[in-house]
Amino acid sequence: MPKFATVAKRLVLGRPFRSDRLSHTLLPKRIALPIFASDALSSVAYAPEEIFLTLSVAGLSAYALAPWIGVAVAVVMLVVVASYRQNVHAYPSGGGDYEVATTNLGGRFGLTVASALLVDYVLTVAVSTSSGVANIGSAIPFVADHKVLWSVLIVATLTALNLRGVRESGKAFAIPTYGFIIGILAMVLWGLFEAVRGTPMRAESAGFQLHEEASLAGFAFVFLILRSFSSGAAALTGVEAISNGVPAFRKPKSKNAATTLLLMGVLAVTMLIGIIALAIITGVKFAEDPATQLSGAPAGYQQKTIVTQIAHAVFQGFPPGFYYISFATGIILLLAANTAFNGFPVLGSILAQDRYLPRQLHTRGDRLAFSNGILFLAAFALVLIIAFDAEVTRLIQLYIVGVFVSFTVSQAGMIRHWNRLLARETDPAVRRKMRRSQTVNAVGLTCTGTVLVIVLITKFLLGAWIAIAAMVAIYLLMTAIRRHYDRVARELAETDGHEPTVLPSRNHAIVLVSKLHMPTLRALAYAKAVRPDVLEAVTVNVDDFDTRELTAEWDKHGFKVPLKVLESPYREITKPVVDYVKRVRGDNSRNVVTVFIPEYVVGRWWEQLLHNQSALRLKGRLLFQPGVMVTSVPWQLASSVKAVDRAMRARPAAGDVRRGLYESAERKENR
């Protein structure tokens, strides 16, 4: 089929993937980088901004500290990257921080990390979307004027796309991510080159005056600097993504993943420092509340993001440069928001395997469970976006705590990991290597632990408490689910007296009859096939006239099976049947009653609403009766045939590529 026709068909049909078309295709580094690093790289769009914004409270003089704070964030970033390179080598299975913490520190720490990551996914959606809208809004004022609305629309679109099933393709990630990297690096290089040449570059806010909110000194000033640093640490969000994706890399997986991680770290640090440098050079003023903090701004001034302000100054006289940076930044941020939709089911699946989340999240086939997860993620992200007016600054306060909880716990786990290996290892060369790795992780632990403490102190009242409360709630929910599963497993394992392997002594079969039509006849024939000890047909008298008609027809047909009529003065079906089944089984626990329920199967959901509701309810109730088997004998109506096709078609699910499920373009073309 020509390519265009395929694309057109996809757009129309929307469900082109059959599950047998899926195949494992491993990712080369050049594709893995954009897929796994878009989240981390995109955070350089907001991290520098948050540094300046926090410092703005102490007035312009505090801006001088921005480069130093930037350097501190960059150092932490490189330390964390170095640490995770150890993780990637030690745990190539893709379990990430959750696996490291569980294996080395026990389930509780694993669960702590998992709770932190789940909260983080929600915040990734909220922060990235809000920041994306702010960057696009810097180019299109109409978007900036309605940023909450646009953020909501974008989250709704991402949700719909992921519910419908969008394949993460390497290309879809590669183009915008490389577009962003190249754009920012070009801007930084050109800006520095121009600065060296002495070209004057002034941001649009360069001429504004920044009012000192309060003359801070001593402890308060230190506190402000720490707060600015912890806001800047938002640049580290998403760094751990590669450690969850090792299995999707080409071989040697760990080595390639570690290389990609390093590449990502270097790129992120370069862009971060570059942006901060240009912000200073172009004289950007960025305030939390421009209306009160800035003077000299025109009336109705809409504060643009720092990245776009720099782009405007650097590419002066070349507007496409400004628009390119605005949109490239906006798009990579929306891509980062989308990664949360993909990462969530992967983590959910691992947690479900460990029975901390409902089991159905474990298997890929469960679109329903996936959908619930996606809706859950979107709903909470929307609540945050609306509650915090899509303000990146206010959302950031909640964001960083979760990230650093999982960094810190993971690094602590790694130290234990090396201790365990060292205890067994005798080869001095290997031991030396292990010692070195352990040292890297120890530095990582110190660093991330310190940042975590700083974040907790400086952010707690500003919103971090919300994230912590959510983490605690999720932690408790997951332990409750696990406890329930454990209790059920224990109960299923104990035999306490009754021996289920003993064969039933008597099988009494009951065919439920409401009318004498095809499904009933088939159910009767099938019931005979199981050769029960007793076989009878049973009907419930809901309407005297109908029942008389049925019994007359029954007699006329001359079945050898007797038809028993159960009276139901209140025209309900369930209770008379359940009571009768109970009576028939009697007290002998070795007796079995098999209830055959003729059902006809229709194809469309609204048809299903009109049929078999009482059969469904009866089946549900009979399951509570000991010693009863419930057999559905289906009769397929014409409309059901189409439905089979519909149901068997598998659509791509969010997170497939991250799990190593991938539709290879070549294989598809060959069909």
Residue ranges in 445-474 that form contacts with a second copy under rule CB under 8 A: none
Residue 33 contacts a second copy per CB under 8 A: no
**Cβ-based nearer residue to a second copy, 198 or 497:** 497
| Interatomic CA distance for residues 207 and 194, integer angstroms | 20
Could you say which residues in the range 482-501 bind a second copy, by CB under 8 A?
A: 484-485, 488-489, 491-495, 500-501
* Beta strands 563-567 and 591-601, pairing class: unpaired
CB of 504 to a second copy, least distance (A): 4
558 binds a second copy (CB under 8 A): no
- Alpha helices, DSSP H, located in 460-517: 464-493
Measured distance CA(359)–CA(646) in Å, rounded: 25
Site for a second copy in 384-403 (CB under 8 A): none
Q: Please state the three-class secondary structure of 44-57 as a single string.
A: HHCHHHHHHHHHHH
The half-sphere exposure of 547 on its side-chain side, counting CA atoms within 13 A, is 14
Contact 43, 267 (CB under 8 A): no
Joined together, the tokens standing for residue 261 give 């991680």
Cα–Cα dist 644/297, whole Å: 64
One residue of 375, 473, 609, 665 binding a second copy per CB under 8 A? 609
Among 252, 623, 664, 665, which residue interacts with a second copy (rule: CB under 8 A)? 623
Measured from the CB atom, is 23 or 61 closer to a second copy? 23
Decide: is 629 part of the binding site for a second copy (CB under 8 A). yes
617 scored as a contact of a second copy (CB under 8 A): yes
Upper half-sphere CA count for residue 254 (Cβ side, 13 Å): 11
Q: CA triplet 186, 192, 198: central angle to 5 degrees?
A: 135
* Candidate residues 251, 424, 556, 571; the one interacting with a second copy per rule CB under 8 A: 571
Residue closer to a second copy by CB (options 179, 504) is: 504
In this complex, which beta carbon is closest to a second copy, that of residue 319 or of residue 626?
Answer: 626
- The 315-354 site mask, x for binding a second copy (CB under 8 A), equals --------------------------------------x-
Identified binder of a second copy from the candidate list 504, 551, 651, 668, rule CB under 8 A: 504
Secondary structure (3-state) at 594? strand
Q: Taking a C-beta distance cutoff of 8 angstroms, is the pair 284, 306 a contact?
A: yes
Q: What is the signed CA dihedral for 441, 442, 444, 446, rounded to 10 degrees?
A: 160
Say whether residue 583 binds a second copy (CB under 8 A).
no
For 451, counting Cβ atoms within 10 Å of its Cβ (0-12 exposed, 13-18 middle, 19+ buried), the class is: buried
Q: What are the structure tokens assigned to 407, written together?
A: 């960094």
- The position carrying tokens 């390179």 is 85
Tell me: does residue 661 bind a second copy (CB under 8 A): yes
Instruction: Report in angstroms how near the CB of residue 570 gets to a second copy at its nearest.
Output: 5
Q: Which of 19, 169, 479, 589 binds a second copy (CB under 8 A)?
A: 19
* Residue 287, amino acid: A
In DSSP terms, which residues pair with 509 in a beta bridge? 535, 594
Of residues 133 and 630, the one with the C-beta less far from a second copy: 630
Contact between 21 and a second copy by CB under 8 A: the answer reads no
650 near a second copy, judged by CB under 8 A: yes
Does 254 sit near a second copy (CB under 8 A)? no
Residues 6+ apart with CB under 8 A from 68: none
3-state SS, one letter per residue, for 202-269: CCCCCCCEECCCCCCCHHHHHHHHHHHHHHHHHHHCCCCHHHHCHHHECCCHHHHHHHHHHHHHHHHH
Residue placing its CB nearer to a second copy in the complex, 3 or 560: 560
Q: Which two tokens stand for residue 122?
A: 């929600």
> Which of 155, 273, 464, 630 is in the footprint of a second copy by CB under 8 A?
630
CB of 352 to a second copy, least distance (A): 10
- At its nearest, how many Å lie between a second copy and the CB of residue 568? 8
Binder among 199, 209, 302, 363 for a second copy (CB under 8 A): 363
Gap between the Cα atoms of 3 and 150, Å rounded: 33
Q: Is 50 in the site for a second copy (CB under 8 A)?
A: no
Query: Smallest distance, Å, CB 510 to a second copy?
Result: 13
49: amino acid identity, one letter: E
Of 301 and 559, the one with the shorter C-beta distance to a second copy is 559
CA distance linking residue 88 with residue 245, whole number of Å: 9
Instruction: Tell me which residues in 65-84 interact with a second copy (CB under 8 A).
Output: none
Shortest Å distance, C-beta 645 to a second copy: 10
Peptide bond connecting 626 to the previous residue in cis, omega within 30 degrees of 0: no
Integer Cα distance of 302 and 557 in angstroms: 84
Q: Which tokens in the block code for residue 14?
A: 């929307």
Which residue lies nearer to a second copy by CB, 372 or 551?
Answer: 372
Q: Does 17 bind a second copy (CB under 8 A)?
A: no
Among candidate residues 358, 348, 345, 350, the one with its CA nearest the CA of residue 481 = 358
Nearest CB to a second copy, comparing residues 177 and 594: 594
Part in contact with a second copy (CB under 8 A); list of ranges 182-190, 233-241, 396-404, 636-644? 636-644
User: Cβ closer to a second copy: 338 or 514?
Assistant: 514
Q: Which is nearer to a second copy, 4 or 605 (CB)?
A: 605
* CB closer to a second copy out of 285 and 362: 362
C-alpha distances in angstroms, 116 versus 144, 289, 470?
A: 31, 30, 9
Q: Measured between alpha carbons, how far is 608 from 617 in angstroms, rounded to an integer?
A: 13
Residue 182 has, within 13 A of its CA and on its CB side, a CA count of 9
State the nearest-atom distance from the C-beta of 575 to a second copy, in Å. 6
Q: Which of 112, 86, 92 is nearest to 414 (CA)?
A: 86
Q: Is 635 in the site for a second copy (CB under 8 A)?
A: yes
Residue 517 binds a second copy, judged by CB under 8 A? yes
Determine the interface stretch with a second copy among 94-102, 171-179, 236-244, 610-618 (rule: CB under 8 A): 610-618
Binding residues among 584-603 for a second copy as defined by CB under 8 A = 592, 594, 599-602
Taking the complex as a whole, the smallest distance from the CB of residue 486 to a second copy amounts, in Å, to 12
| From 146, 250, 394, 575, residue interacting with a second copy (rule: CB under 8 A) | 575
Least CB distance from residue 430 to a second copy, whole Å?
28
Of residues 524 through 543, those in contact with a second copy by CB under 8 A are 524-526, 528-532, 542-543
> Quick check: 431 binds a second copy (CB under 8 A)?
no
Q: Is 636 in the site for a second copy (CB under 8 A)?
A: yes
507 scored as a contact of a second copy (CB under 8 A): yes
Q: How far apart are CA 247 and CA 373, in angstroms?
A: 23
Strand residue runs (E) in 82-217: 209-210
631 is a contact residue toward a second copy (CB under 8 A): yes
CB of 508 to a second copy, least distance (A): 11
Bridge partners, 597 (sequence order): 632
Contact window for a second copy (CB under 8 A) among 56-64, 74-82, 227-235, 511-519:
511-519
Task: Name which position in 101, 468, 573, 654 contacts a second copy (CB under 8 A).
Answer: 573
C-beta closer to a second copy: residue 195 or 578: 578
| Closest listed residue to residue 510, CA positions, set 454, 566, 552, 453 | 566
